[in-house]
Structure 1
Amino acid sequence: MSTDATPEYDHEELGLVAGLEIHQQLDTATKLFCDSPTTERDPDEADRSITRRLHPTKSELGELDDAAMEESRVDREFTYLGYDTTCLVEEDDEPPRRVDEEALSVALQIADLLDLSVVDQAHVMRKLVIDGSNTSGFQRSILLGQAGEIETSEGTVSIADLMLEEESAKRVEETDDGVVYSLDRLGVPLVEIGTGPDIRSPEGAREAAERIGMLLRSTGAVKRGLGTIRQDVNVSIADGARVEVKGVQDLQGIEDIVRGEVGRQAELLEIRDELRERDASVGDVSDVTDVFADTESSVIRGALDAGGKVTAVPLFGFDGLVGREIQPDRRLGTELSDHAKRHGAGGIFHTDELPAYGVTDEEVDALRDAVGADPADAVAIVAADPETADLAIEAAAERAETAVEGVPEETRGANDDGTTRYLRPLPGAARMYPETDVPPVEPDPSDVERPELLDEKAERYTEEFGLGAGLAEQVAFGQRFPLFETAADRGVDPTFAASTLESTTTEIRRDGAPVDALTDDHFLALFDLVEEGDLAKEGVPEVLTTLAERPELSAAEAVEAAGLSGVSEDEVREAVVEVVERNADQIEAEGMGAFSGLMGEAMGALRGKADGEVVSDVLREEIGKRS
């Protein structure tokens, strides 16, 4: 969503309060509670699947979590894809093993960077999860640290806690029966970092997330790429309510989501005030199938012909407000529809948008008569199979009732356009209970070293290796800074190594090369060939492209495959002489002024087979002979 399309609000006047929850996968060898690798797999590689149905359970206090209860009303089955690396722990057929030491060590480094107080003894807890994303029906979570802080340009942001958790299973697809998940991601170590409610602007939320992300990457032990880090944003305004928006994928998205949620809550409060002035209320649900017995609306006709029915709820005093926009292209009616969709309905129709969709004026009048609605009232309807229609209209009615109260506390999902949609109620404490299969651990922060921050690393690269500030920052904040340091320690020219790892890989990626297939060994072997004179620097992009497309090759084999085997000085001179003789008139007229243009032509003729300095020396010599 473009911020230009969003109305401007005075965030200070509205009393904006925001906090973040950052979820970051750790780049460890094995998973948090078993020895399976943390490598992502292609679902097509799955060699088996299991199917489960999950149900909510009571906490040790005998309470049921509201979010879990609502999720359980949606009748779905869950299918899990397993691989040759999937173990019994991931399938929930064996108890979890002890906490992974590597994951614990990285998490303690992160705790140090966030100035957190580490707990003396860490206990594994079970967090109830009923959406199918864990085969066991719960996620294992460990509180490691509390009471930290980070500094931003808008002031200190407190860090409430650091959790070490197991990642959920990866959603592959939704089917008519339920959801298909992949078990390759389930159990990957994950840290969850929660800030205090100290953020007061959209820009401040983005800056805090950026700072935390930099600290996480400074460990050199977090996964990178799409889906490996997720940001949830908690937003509220004065007289509004705490709303958790899940699944924000990027930093700009955080800023847009905060702005959009402020606007949504402000609009909902204005709707609340108007509803109260009208003494609005929600009536009883009723069956209005007879009203649409002869309808030509394709949606309603399709539901009725399939044995369904139409249910309705009168919204007294709601006329004109159900269709009021609260976010771009989203209205109060959209909120009601989101709740109805949770129970399998395609959505709702309401009288603020009717007649439309094949529903006639006469049917709208008959609908109002059937439920006792006046012109000042609105009516919402659902057409679906009988069970779905009943559940969906009840859900829509409940959401309409909360509109009279104001802004409901809830969990929402981030949309790609910067708006949000309803997911479920906010979870409560009833979803947590102790894990009995894993003993407590006693973390020792003194066992880990504080990592160098990425901005400090960039400064060191400039001072120690002579890199330009821009290139130093690219390398330090990139994914391959450990590889850069290894190459520099082996005597590779630092500027050449840095530009290859960052600039060259970016260039060939833009040209379509699958650079993610390149390994550290590919780069180091390539650097060795250049240092030994077996490959000209000018040939590096072509060889890297070959390796990316055929990663099974060695660097030397890729040089051969790219046709870039080294040439002798005699062959270089022969190629240069051809270029010089072809451009004899230009040399006679310009002398050494022709050098730059002919240099490019000579390098092109040699196709990266010769070092640029050698070609330059020979070219200058040959031009000198003729001028």
Structure 2
Amino acid sequence: MDKNIDYEELGLMMGLEIHQQLNTAQKLFCPCECELTDKKPEYRVLRYLRPTQSELGKIDRAAFEESRRELTFLYDAYPYHTCLVETDDEPPHPLNQEALEIGLIIATLLNMQVVDEFHTMRKQVIDGSNTGGFQRTGLLAIQGHMDTPYGRVVIENLCLEEDAARRMGQRKGKVEFRLDRLGIPLLEITTDPSMNHPQQVREVAYQIGQVLRSTRVKRGLGTIRQDLNISIREGARVEVKGVQDLDSMEQLVENEVLRQLRLLKIRDELVKREATVEEEIHDLNKLLKDTESKIISKAIKKGGKVLAIKLNGYKGLIGKELQPGRRFGTELAGYAKKMGVAGIFHTDELPAYGITSPEVENINTFLQIGPDDAFILVADEAEKAQNALEEVQRRARMAVDGVPEETRKALDDANTEYLRPLPTASRMYVETDIPTQVVASELLEHVKNNLPELPKEKEARIIAQYKLSEDLAHQLVRQDRVEQFEEIVAECGVEPTTVASLLAYTLKELRREGLDVDNLPGSHLKGTFQLLKQDKISKDAVSEVLVGVLKEDWTPEESASNLNLLMLSEENVRNIIAELVSSHENLIEERKMGAMGSLMGMAMKQLKGKADGKLVNKLLKEEIQKYL
């Protein structure tokens, strides 16, 4: 995509939703531990979830679509990580005050106005992630702001809510969840949609992340989740779930803009062709009973159906690429797959997959396919195939209008795939089991007087305190390694710049080499620096010791010993240098002290990092002077 594209002219609008787990002693509405477990569950709970009407008699469209999948939900429960609150068999306990205080700290750091009263609401969610079919949430603060090089961004809302259960897998219409994560306190931070450049949204995500990390929040994979709302002027609002990697955020925005632009082109062509989607769903079992397609023949043998629909005016458009490697047909297949089928076959990709040219011609004749028409077929259990094609028909009709409002999932390649329709306001209602929480002015005053250090303040402090360069200090703060840096300097007594350089850059280089730096134990990192402090290894050997620790699972001492990196004694170094100087007596006679450079290079190469350079230099001078 053109990097010089004018996003403002396109009408690009973006907003962020950041969900951050809080590091509290107990869950939001019960005393259970806020830790995950891989232990065998003590018992399991089975649930069937269905949508309910709002107080105005409406049903949320996202909840309705989930109900059409007719799934069964199985929940793993544990003695310490879950209780009757998680299984929805007991009313919630009073609100976690520790979580409330952390929320107030973050609201204050984001320049937000805190509400006078915290009201807990129920948000209907029937994808199985909550046993009761709803998530408890409440508004804590509004109207904050954050400044960026592209302008000020408004932080609209900060909500305190409970995290969802962990989805572990799905088999034969039954989805398994673990209840250990359900109820962990979570903050949802929502910006306004004023961002109009990919770099800006990345900068805001980074800044909010830095504010969050200055408080008591959980760290590690899965503890922070970012959702991105994106739209362009003629397109539609799309919510992209699970944007984990800040580095790929800009590419994801570009790919979504590209998708919407290409959908608009498809819309224009469909309108031009006066395209329509026929209502009838056709049975092709007899027509394809002798096919060599393994997918189709397998479905027929199992008593399933091969069903097809006709799309007037869609030929050549289903195969159009929307995002790198993803076509309009992939969009249609995404809707079908939500009904449980493996995928679809369509005109623009056939003959293929065992379906021959004569079979395609027979289908065309049977469905009365014209020159600009297309067909889509699905082979599966009769009900699944029927539901899948109804969803494809629905999505194909949307294409005539342009870009549909959707919730989509972020993929590792910076593309997205369909998850469900955007939810509506029809899914929110008051939680009657939890009393209103008054936000006391004394508590708010206490919070304001005890705010944690912000990233910029932290950067300025470590520059002054440890005499670090601006670049090193900035990298430590950006990588969230300041606390680790200060612990190592305090406990190991190593020169601060050496520690900062390794944390900021060396570890990054080791990660690029494929080493699992993120799981390097802090004790091994400190142990490596203690070897340096004790003069057992040289500064140059630190990274090599860590390579051994990461690759071979050695302790720092084992790594230094096994890789022959332990420093030699001064006596051993002197003996090696004396022998080196003796064997190059002619060089010294010729160059005098000018031989120093050449001999220094030879000495360091021979010693292989097992002696400090300053010591080698000193001993070498002493030995050379004996020959002058």
For the superposition of Structure 1 and Structure 2, which TM-score range results when normalised by the shorter chain? 0.7 to 0.9
Match of residue 376, structure 1, among 372, 377, 393? 372
1:598, distance to aligned residue in structure 2 (A): 4.5
SS at match of 1:474: helix
Show the counterpart of 2:331: 335
Match of residue 266, structure 1, among 237, 253, 261? 261
Q: What amino acid does structure 2 have at the position aligned with 1:285? A: E
**Is 1:593 paired with 2:597?**
yes
1:492, distance to aligned residue in structure 2 (A): 5.2
Assess, with a 3 A threshold, how the Cα gap between structure 1 residues 568 and 480 changes in structure 2: closer, same or farther.
Answer: same
Show the counterpart of 2:445: 446
1:595, distance to aligned residue in structure 2 (A): 5.3
Show the counterpart of 2:60: 65
1:571, distance to aligned residue in structure 2 (A): 4.8
1:208, distance to aligned residue in structure 2 (A): 2.6
- In the aligned structure 2, how far is the partner of 1:137 from the partner of 1:458? 45
1:384-434 CA-to-partner distances (Å, cap 9, x unmatched) read 111111111111111112222222111111223332221111111222233
2:155–2:192 Cα contact (<8 Å) kept: yes
- In the aligned structure 1, how far is the partner of 2:566 from the partner of 2:227? 52
Show the counterpart of 2:608: 604
Assess, with a 3 A threshold, how the Cα gap between structure 1 residues 463 and 348 changes in structure 2: closer, same or farther.
Answer: same
Match of residue 346, structure 2, among 350, 362, 369? 350
Q: What amino acid does structure 2 have at the position aligned with 1:596? A: M
Show the counterpart of 1:302: 298
1:197-241 CA-to-partner distances (Å, cap 9, x unmatched) read 101233332333233233333x15444444333322212222322
Q: What amino acid does structure 2 have at the position aligned with 1:422? A: Y
Q: What amino acid does structure 1 have at the position aligned with 2:263? A: L
- In the aligned structure 2, how far is the partner of 1:100 from the partner of 1:582? 76
1:123–1:142 Cα contact (<8 Å) kept: yes
1:562, distance to aligned residue in structure 2 (A): 8.5
SS at match of 1:307: coil
Assess, with a 3 A threshold, how the Cα gap between structure 1 residues 173 and 617 changes in structure 2: closer, same or farther.
Answer: farther
- In the aligned structure 2, how far is the partner of 1:361 from the partner of 1:471? 64
Match of residue 242, structure 1, among 237, 256, 259? 237
**Is 1:387 paired with 2:380?**
no
Deviation larger for 369-378 or 539-548: 539-548
Match of residue 200, structure 2, among 204, 207, 212? 204
**Is 1:11 paired with 2:3?**
no
Match of residue 275, structure 1, among 270, 283, 300? 270
Show the counterpart of 1:288: 283
Show the counterpart of 1:112: 108
1:27-78 CA-to-partner distances (Å, cap 9, x unmatched) read 445443445544455x4x4455625334134255154321112112213334
SS at match of 2:70: coil
Show the counterpart of 1:413: 409
Assess, with a 3 A threshold, how the Cα gap between structure 1 residues 505 and 420 changes in structure 2: closer, same or farther.
Answer: closer
SS at match of 2:315: coil
1:345–1:389 Cα contact (<8 Å) kept: yes
Assess, with a 3 A threshold, how the Cα gap between structure 1 residues 478 and 323 changes in structure 2: closer, same or farther.
Answer: closer
1:99, distance to aligned residue in structure 2 (A): 3.6
Q: What amino acid does structure 1 have at the position aligned with 2:44? A: I
- In the aligned structure 1, how far is the partner of 2:318 from the partner of 2:524? 60
SS at match of 1:248: coil
- In the aligned structure 1, how far is the partner of 2:548 from the partner of 2:134? 45
Deviation larger for 177-186 or 544-553: 544-553
- In the aligned structure 1, how far is the partner of 2:49 from the partner of 2:302? 30
- In the aligned structure 1, how far is the partner of 2:282 from the partner of 2:251? 41
SS at match of 1:352: helix
2:34–2:81 Cα contact (<8 Å) kept: no
Assess, with a 3 A threshold, how the Cα gap between structure 1 residues 564 and 626 changes in structure 2: closer, same or farther.
Answer: same
- In the aligned structure 2, how far is the partner of 1:259 from the partner of 1:575? 61
Deviation larger for 576-585 or 277-286: 576-585
1:311–1:390 Cα contact (<8 Å) kept: yes
**Is 1:470 paired with 2:471?**
yes
Q: What amino acid does structure 2 have at the position aligned with 1:494? A: P
Deviation larger for 85-94 or 61-70: 85-94
Show the counterpart of 1:494: 496
Assess, with a 3 A threshold, how the Cα gap between structure 1 residues 294 and 558 changes in structure 2: closer, same or farther.
Answer: closer
CA RMSD of aligned residues (A): 3.6
1:151, distance to aligned residue in structure 2 (A): 1.4
- In the aligned structure 1, how far is the partner of 2:122 from the partner of 2:288? 49
Assess, with a 3 A threshold, how the Cα gap between structure 1 residues 540 and 421 changes in structure 2: closer, same or farther.
Answer: closer
2:529–2:542 Cα contact (<8 Å) kept: no
Q: What amino acid does structure 1 have at the position aligned with 2:498? A: F
- In the aligned structure 2, how far is the partner of 1:602 from the partner of 1:48? 61
1:571-600 CA-to-partner distances (Å, cap 9, x unmatched) read 554455455556656555553224532452
Show the counterpart of 2:316: 320
1:116–1:147 Cα contact (<8 Å) kept: yes
1:493, distance to aligned residue in structure 2 (A): 3.4
- In the aligned structure 2, how far is the partner of 1:112 from the partner of 1:258? 30
- In the aligned structure 1, how far is the partner of 2:294 from the partner of 2:266? 32
Q: Tell me the TM-score normalized by structure 1.
A: 0.86
2:242–2:409 Cα contact (<8 Å) kept: yes
1:349-407 CA-to-partner distances (Å, cap 9, x unmatched) read 22333343333444444434444543333222222111111111111111112222222
Show the counterpart of 1:396: 392
1:147-193 CA-to-partner distances (Å, cap 9, x unmatched) read 11111222221111112233333334443444444444443333222
Deviation larger for 25-34 or 457-466: 25-34
What fraction of aligned residue pairs are identical, expressed as a percent?
A: 46
1:566, distance to aligned residue in structure 2 (A): 7.8
1:23, distance to aligned residue in structure 2 (A): 2.2
- In the aligned structure 2, how far is the partner of 1:181 from the partner of 1:578? 70
Deviation larger for 61-70 or 510-519: 510-519
Q: Tell me the TM-score normalized by structure 2.
A: 0.85
Q: Which runs of 5+ in 1 are unaligned?
A: none
Match of residue 56, structure 1, among 50, 53, 57? 50
Question: What aligned pairs does 1:545-564 form with structure 2 within 5 A after superposition?
Answer: none
- In the aligned structure 1, how far is the partner of 2:118 from the partner of 2:584? 76
Assess, with a 3 A threshold, how the Cα gap between structure 1 residues 278 and 456 changes in structure 2: closer, same or farther.
Answer: same
Assess, with a 3 A threshold, how the Cα gap between structure 1 residues 515 and 414 changes in structure 2: closer, same or farther.
Answer: closer
Question: What aligned pairs does 1:123-142 form with structure 2 within 5 A after superposition?
Answer: 123-142=119-138
- In the aligned structure 1, how far is the partner of 2:400 from the partner of 2:477? 52
1:224–1:479 Cα contact (<8 Å) kept: no
2:29–2:95 Cα contact (<8 Å) kept: yes
Deviation larger for 229-238 or 167-176: 167-176
Q: What amino acid does structure 1 have at the position aligned with 2:315? A: D
Assess, with a 3 A threshold, how the Cα gap between structure 1 residues 568 and 368 changes in structure 2: closer, same or farther.
Answer: closer
Q: What amino acid does structure 2 have at the position aligned with 1:622? A: E
- In the aligned structure 2, how far is the partner of 1:436 from the partner of 1:501? 50
1:84, distance to aligned residue in structure 2 (A): 6.7
